[in-house]
């Protein structure tokens, strides 16, 4: 009985050590399980059209919706990239759309198109500064503009965490899904 208990103890220690190693080193196969990728063709197409990093788009989508196309936030943002109806209406008008409906935001292709157009617009506004772009995507342009005018960094802890998280996820998606996103 003691031998069995010792064997089970050793087996448990080895299993825990292996789990820690996998968690700390996060090989690509593990990251692909942990961070799925969907809508790859649309992400690649829209990234190319808007001259954005496909891994950034995948990271924003994962952070915003975990790739769930019909999810809706408490603030009313909808879909994969969590675009608000008001923002989507503005994008539709600026890009020649005439028949926008709120349900369009549940369509992955439309949602990704609007979200990537908006990110591209933010990159143009903020001179390519990815951290400011992501902060504006999360907290709104008005907040980021006020912080910049006051010479301040990102003031909302939630927004700082969001920016850090998306930038981390961008690296994860770039490494784990490189051939699918850039192939």
What torsion do the CA atoms of 99, 135, 68, 50 make, to the nearest 10 degrees?
A: 50
Active-site position among 64, 93, 130, 167: 64
| DSSP state letter for 83 | B
Q: How far apart are CA 160 and CA 164, in angstroms?
A: 6
Residue 64 among the catalytic residues: yes
With a CB cutoff of 8 Å and minimum separation 6, the contacts of 169 are 35, 58, 59, 62, 63
Cβ(44)–Cβ(179) below 8 Å? no
Secondary structure class of 129 (helix, strand, coil): coil
Q: Which residues of 150-161 are buried (b: 16+ CB within 10 A; e: fewer)?
A: eeeebeeeebbe
At residue 3, φ and ψ (nearest 5 deg) are: -65, -40
Secondary structure class of 100 (helix, strand, coil): coil
Secondary structure class of 117 (helix, strand, coil): helix
Looking at the annotation, which residues are catalytic?
Answer: 64
């Amino acid at each position: 009985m003691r031998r069995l208990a010792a064997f089970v103890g050793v087996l448990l220690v080895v299993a825990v050590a292996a789990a820690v190693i996998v968690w700390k080193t996060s090989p690509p196969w593990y990251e692909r399980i942990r961070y799925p990728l969907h809508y790859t063709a649309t992400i690649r197409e829209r990234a190319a059209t808007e001259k954005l990093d496909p891994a950034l788009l995948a990271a924003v989508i994962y952070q915003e919706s975990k790739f769930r196309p019909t999810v809706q936030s408490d603030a009313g943002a909808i879909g994969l990239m969590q675009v608000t109806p008001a923002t989507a209406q503005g994008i539709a008008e600026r890009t020649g759309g005439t028949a926008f409906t709120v349900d369009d935001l549940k369509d992955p292709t439309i949602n990704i198109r609007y979200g990537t157009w908006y990110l591209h617009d933010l990159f143009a506004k903020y001179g390519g500064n990815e951290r400011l772009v992501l902060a504006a995507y999360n907290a709104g342009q008005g907040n980021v503009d006020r912080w910049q005018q006051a010479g301040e960094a990102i003031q909302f802890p939630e927004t700082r965490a969001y920016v850090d998280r998306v930038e981390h996820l961008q690296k994860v998606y770039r490494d784990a899904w490189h051939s699918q996103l850039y192939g």
